[in-house]
A and B are shown apart, each in its own frame.
Chain A
Amino acid sequence: SQKIEQNSEALNIQEGKTATLTCNYTNYSPAYLQWYRQDPGRGPVFLLLIRENEKEKRKERLKVTFDTTLKQSLFHITASQPADSATYLCALLQNTGNQFYFGTGTSLTVIP
């Protein structure tokens, strides 16, 4: 069956450290993978996109890696801040698909 799994437990880290979130998928052939941020009571907001032929993408303090052999994406937030506290969702679009498939999300709390 198809699955997209993210860190099952909430992640708590100290301010200034690097947060690393994982996204593993099974039985998908993604054309690309995306990361979104969702705050309580709000809709998801797009952060980064990485294509199947790209290994790494950066945007300010954010970095995403994509390993199609391991079927895994890692999402890093460097120099984390309390304002980074939110739920982070990974999503993928298949080569033949019309829709975005989402993981269950990882709740991140950055402790001052």
Chain B
Amino acid sequence: NAGVMQNPRHLVRRRGQEARLRCSPMKGHSHVYWYRQLPEEGLKFMVYLQKENIIDESGMPKERFSAEFPKEGPSILRIQQVVRGDSAAYFCASSPPRVLNTEAFFGQGTRLTVV
């Protein structure tokens, strides 16, 4: 059973370009979470999704950021018109349908660098 797969591992974008980060959850997991981590900081929650449904996006910036988890395929975190402040490690986690009494399984992250 493969773990949570994120790609790419490293992404470099120029200011103003779009960044697309992909996350394939573990098999059988229908819940996906996205977190952002800045150097020397903790994981900041961004969004929680189930298949075809955004459950909680309270941590998402109001502009330029969007996320989806389609019926088929990976979850996508999309950042439009990137700025230097978007440079960070973005982690995806997944969990089984019953979210309580369980842990989140994390991917290895995508390190976004905006130049």
Which A positions have Cβ atoms within 8 angstroms of B? 4, 31-32, 34, 36, 41-46, 49, 51, 89, 91, 93, 98-105
Q: Which residues of B contact A49 (CB under 8 A)?
A: 101-103
When the two chains form their complex, are residues B42 and A43 in contact, meaning their CB atoms are under 8 A apart?
no
16 more contacts with CB within 8 A, not counting A43-B93, A98-B56, A99-B45, are A32-B101, A42-B108, A43-B109, A44-B43, A46-B103, A46-B105, A49-B103, A93-B99, A93-B100, A98-B55, A99-B48, A101-B45, A102-B35, A102-B42, A104-B41, A104-B42
When the two chains form their complex, are residues B103 and A89 in contact, meaning their CB atoms are under 8 A apart?
no
Interface of A is mostly: strand
Q: List 14 A-B contacts (CB under 8 A).
A: A32-B101, A43-B4, A44-B106, A49-B102, A49-B103, A91-B43, A91-B104, A99-B33, A99-B45, A100-B45, A102-B35, A102-B43, A103-B42, A104-B42
CA–CA, A59 and B55, complex, Å: 33
CA–CA, A54 and B14, complex, Å: 49
Give the nearest-CB partner of B45 in chain A: A99
Which B positions have Cβ atoms within 8 angstroms of A? 4, 33, 35, 40-45, 48, 55-56, 59, 91, 93, 99-109
Give the nearest-CB partner of A48 in chain B: B103
Q: How far is the CB of A63 from chain B (nearest CB, A)?
A: 17
Q: How far is the CB of B16 from chain A (nearest CB, A)?
A: 27
Give the contacting residue for B56; candidates A42, A51, A89, A99; CB below 8 A: A99
When the two chains form their complex, are residues A46 and B104 in contact, meaning their CB atoms are under 8 A apart?
yes
CA–CA, A93 and B56, complex, Å: 14
User: Closest 3 A-B residue pairs measured CB to CB?
Assistant: A43-B106, A46-B103, A104-B42
Q: A43-B91, A99-B33, A102-B35 are in contact. Are A51 and B101 (CB under 8 A)?
A: yes
CA–CA, A43 and B43, complex, Å: 10
